[in-house]
Amino acid sequence: MKAIQVHQFGGPEVLQLHEIPTPKPGPGQVLVRVHAAGVNPYDTYMRNGTYAIKPPLPYTPGSDAAGVVEAVGEGVTRVKSGARVYTARTVSGAYAEYALALESQVQRLPDSISFAQGAGVWVPYGTAFTALRHHAHARPGETLLIHGASGGVGTAAIQFARAMGMTVFGTAGTVKGLDLVKKEGAHQAFDHTKSGYTDEIIKATDGRGVDVILEMLANVNLANDLKMVALNGRVIVIGNRGEININPRDLMARRATARGFTLWAATENETTEIYAAIGAGLENGTLRPIVGKELPLKDAPQAHADVLAPGAHGKIVLIP
């Protein structure tokens, strides 16, 4: 099969297309014929060798695949050959024609969701849901700011939050991104490249501040978030690419909380809830993954450059 492999950590150019043997599912494993693979920012950190998880070389990147079950290993009972599925992590990597996953990592993909959309499910929707439910303890009627709402996690968070009855503000840095944020259901969209936009956000809450902030770039925004959050508010750090100075007094004055998490560390119970929430939302049309760009598998280096560039518009997916 064709697969992208990383033989040494480095820039996008280390993502190389190779012909390697198609894996066989062992006990408890499922082999998925990959129709689309999602590209997530952390794939680039891992490829650089700077991420908390450093896989042994060579490895095939990617945790988010969508496709059809080709074969199942001994003891697999829940998943059948021929089923449409998405993966929530894999054993062998998603940037390939076939991916091995544990039975517990394979979830049903409804017929109404395309494979390209299915490749944008696990990391974006899993992150958005766990941020809102398990970390922010968000409630209907509260005000939410999604600071970076035009990308994979941001658009997923808009859809979840609107469905649960929150008032949603989202930011983006381009006209196309701002249009997407509004189209997906944000009540108001703000341009995070415009000076004074944080004042506009506070004004939109009549000076109260926002109850919950989901932050995609904390090293740039955390200090401002602590000034925009309401009394008893929660700032949830989802993305961060460096250091920042903050004034802890901003938290004290607001009895506010700043909290971070990684989806990787979700507990079994949390993961069960994430699967259930995603499954229901995909089924009933509440969740509609946005595919901004499809590229052939060989263009993985381009996809890694694009996913870090400004101008996000939903997900970037690779088609093997």
- List residues binding ligand NAP (CB under 6 A): 40-42, 123-124, 127, 147-154, 171-174, 177, 192, 216-217, 220-221, 238-239, 261-263, 307, 310-312
* Residue 197 C-beta: closest distance to ligand NAP, Å: 10
Of 312, 257, 260, 315, whose CA–CA distance to 288 is shortest? 315
Nearer to ligand NAP, 101 or 312 (CB): 312
The nearest distance, CB 120 to ligand NAP, in angstroms, is 9
Instruction: State how far the Cα of 113 lies from the Cα of 129, in Å rounded to an integer.
Output: 19
Name which of 29 and 155 has its Cβ closer to ligand NAP.
Answer: 155
Closer CB to ligand NAP, residue 109 or residue 303?
A: 303
Taking the least distance from each CB to ligand NAP, the nearer of 7 and 259 is 259
Cis bond upstream, residue 58 (ω within 30): yes
Three-state secondary-structure class, residue 7 = coil
Cβ-closest position to ligand NAP:
151
Residues in the chain: 320
Between the two ends of the chain, the Cα-to-Cα distance in Å is 10
Least distance in Å: CB of 40 to ligand NAP? Answer: 5
The pairing of beta strand 106-108 with beta strand 84-87: antiparallel
- 32 phi, psi to nearest 5 deg: -110, 130
In whole angstroms, the minimum distance from the beta carbon of 261 to ligand NAP comes to 6
Find the shortest distance in angstroms from Cβ 162 to ligand NAP: 17
- Which tokens in the block code for residue 67? 């496709």
